[in-house]
Amino acid sequence: MIAGVRFASVAFAVFCALPLLMMAAMPQADKIPGTGGDITIQPINHATLQLVHANHVIDVDPVPQADFTGLPAPTIILVTDIHGDHMDAGTIAKLRQASTKVVAPQAVIAAAKLDGAIALANGETKTVDGISIEAVPMYNTTPARQQFHTKGRGNGYVLTIGGKRIYIAGDTEGTPEMRALKNIDVAFIPMNLPYTMTPDEAAEAVKAFGPKIVYPYHYKGSDPTIFANALKGLPIDVRIRDWYGK
């Protein structure tokens, strides 16, 4: 009986530790100073992340593969596109509180049946809970890749939070709209083929608009160090994080 009790106790302890083990795979959050307090940047998985500032909690592209265990509930949910690594109606419903605002392109709202969501079209800017959200076109420009993301369907976003401009590119190549961005403090840039672009192509696009901090994300199958090496010597802080829990 004593051995059985000891085994049960160990098993229970392992069971209780599972959420912590799952959280251990999540990259450590970064903090950057903002007006009214720090902005917390939490990479989660692939294209999913969370931003926190004051009483604002913004979940970006929540999907089943992303573990939100231990993270605060969202005040805003942003969705970029209809693909399953960016949009999942069930995960949105699970995270969505009564007061949570959902912001998405019309294609996402229709596909996920997001009643009460705020539609944002390419080029539009709306203020949601005091946060300026600008929809930036995200699409493929290379002919062989245009089948994946057509112009007008999905959104990248520029958020103004705590006095900082944060660009979340979504699934895109280095479009003219990306290259024309100004005064970006933090950028999240994808790099994987055939859906977005190569690390070298991503670096060339980033050179055009010069964010202060850039995170390679959505890079499954690509080497983000190639991207970082291409930006060496420039006043751009490249922050490589493990978005895949390797």
* Domains contained in the chain, number: 1
For residue 4, tell me if it sits in a domain.
no
For residue 246, tell me if it sits in a domain.
no
For residue 20, tell me if it sits in a domain.
no
For residue 11, tell me if it sits in a domain.
no
For residue 15, tell me if it sits in a domain.
no
Amino acid identity, residue 162?
Answer: G
For residue 213, tell me if it sits in a domain.
yes
Q: Which residues form the domain of 207?
A: 27-238
For residue 205, tell me if it sits in a domain.
yes
Q: Read off the pLDDT of residues 61-94 as tens digits, 9 standing for 90 and up.
A: 999 999 999 999 999 999 999 999 999 999 999 9
Q: Read off the pLDDT of residues 22-31 as tens digits, 9 standing for 90 and up.
A: 344 688 899 9
CATH number at 166 reads 3.60.15.10
pLDDT at residue 195 in the model: 92
Using 50, 70 and 90 to split pLDDT, how confident is the model at 246?
Answer: low
Query: Number of helices (H) and strands (E), helices first, in the chain?
Result: 6, 14
> Could you please report the per-residue DSSP string of 61-106?
S--TTS--TTSPPPSEEE---SSTTT--HHHHHHH--TT-EEEE-H
Q: Give the pair of three-digit tokens for residue 59.
A: 């979940």
Strand partners, 160: 132, 165
Q: In 3D, which of 86, 189, 213 has the Cα closest to residue 136?
A: 189
pTM: 0.89
Q: Which of 14-23, 162-171, 184-193, 218-227 has the lowest mean pLDDT?
A: 14-23
For residue 215, tell me if it sits in a domain.
yes
